[in-house]
Amino acid sequence: MNWKIMGIIMFVAWTCYLRIALADKGFIIHPDGSVSINGVEFGSVQNYVTSDYFKKNNMRCGTRPEGRVTPADNPSAVPGDCSLYLTRIAAEYAPERVALVIPVYFHVIYKNDGTGNIPDQRIHDQMQVLNEDFRAMANTMGSQGEDTMIQFELVQITRTQNDTWFNDQDMTNCKSTLGVDQTRNLNIYTNSAGGYLGYAYLPQEDAGSVEDGIVMLHDTIGGRDNGFSIYNQGRTLVHEAGHYLGLLHTFDSYNCENAYSSGDLIVDTPSESVEHYACSQTNTCNTPDPIYNYMNYTPDSCMHEFTPEQANRMVCSLINYRPLAYSTIPVSKLTPGMFNLLLEN
């Protein structure tokens, strides 16, 4: 077998094992606010997310592709414009006169002692951030990026007290109980996220399944300057929504290849060979690393952009893998607050 392919397979296998191993050990938020994971103790969640342990174990995001299957590896694999091994940039995935609107259900899961029972206002503020960044709204922190023409409508907030589900355990049962038609809606679940800031399921692998959706650490939910450590601008959900719409990490595969069939499958995101946890500029592949991209691991204050080709791939993923999960409306630009509303059923 080609050594390069072998390396990718080994990396994917290790990251999957890592997530399973950490989940088995358990991430526990104690009543006094301290946390423990894998036998390691931290005084608070904020101490944990800025720790070397957090970085070393790649806990910024739990989204992992199950594998990079190519037509050569599996002749039955169906090629597509935005598969897990290829991106084809096309004008049909660059809408100009319509916005693609995704309905959202927010499921708040909290402990018996009230931990995780975040207020409605934080969810409304988070929805505002999501739309500001995806639509690159003028006069907001998201204005420097690409307008993806994708936006989100909050349909309903549900609240469930369940300590097991809050600890990110028995989540298949949780999602089958709480989830609302995953083929037509984005379901977001807030709990401890198993020690990650969040994780999502890629449409190329899990679109419409019970598992489909996004799981978020409850502390990350909120608007600008929400007080949660260096992840305080609401951009963890922006990052995970990028995964939900088919984007990979900018450092995917950890090499310096920059093509539509390798790395993050996007050319206009400069290649990089490591993930970044700081705002300092580095050149790991002889060009400036994309530290400002939402799909990196930098602090929220650094992030401010999707690229045009990332927007193209997200629209492609929505149209081809989630055809029932959006509606279209004629619109040019969002105005602040336009979609930060709780819709009545």
Strands 35-37 and 40-42: antiparallel
Looking at the domain assignment, is residue 277 inside a domain?
A: yes
Residue 65 falls inside a structural domain: no
Closest C-alpha to 186, from 152, 161, 160, 163? 152
Q: Identify whether 317 is part of a domain.
A: yes
- 289/264 Cα distance (integer angstroms): 13
Whole-angstrom distance, CA of residue 330 vs CA of residue 218: 34
Side-chain-side CA neighbours of 180 within 13 Å: the count stands at 18
What token pair was written down for 161?
């007290």
Helix (H, G, I), strand (E, B) or coil at 133: helix
CATH code, domain with 211: 3.40.390.10
Q: What is the pLDDT of residue 333?
A: 58
Instruction: Report, in angstroms and rounded to the nearest whole number, the Rg of the chain calculated over CA atoms.
Output: 19
The residue range of the domain holding 269 is 91-330
Q: Report the pLDDT value the prediction gives residue 338, as an integer from 0 to 100.
A: 54
Query: Is 69 contained in some domain?
Result: no
- What lies within 8 Å, CB to CB, of 138 at 6+ separation is 333
**101 three-state secondary structure:** strand
Structurally, how many domains does the chain consist of? 1
Between CA 295 and CA 252 the distance in angstroms is 10
Three-point CA angle 233, 237, 240, nearest 5°: 135
- pLDDT score at 78: 45
Residue 310 lies in a domain: yes
Of 132, 146, 153, 240, which is the active-site residue? 240
Helix or strand run (H / E) with residue 242? helix 235-244
Q: Is residue 31 part of a domain?
A: no
Q: Does residue 341 form part of some domain?
A: no
DSSP 37-75: ETTEEESSHHHHHTSHHHHHTTTT-----S----TTT-T
**Is 64 domain-assigned?**
no
pLDDT for residue 212: 97
Low-confidence residues of the chain, pLDDT below 50?
Answer: 1, 3-25, 68-79, 340-345
Work out whether strand 98-110 and strand 186-191 pair parallel, antiparallel, or are unpaired: parallel
Asked about 92 being catalytic, the answer comes back as no
Non-local CB neighbours of 170 within 8 Å, separated by 6+ positions = 164
- The reply to whether the predicted model has a pTM over 0.75 is yes
Nearest to 102 by CA among 183, 171, 175, 174: 183
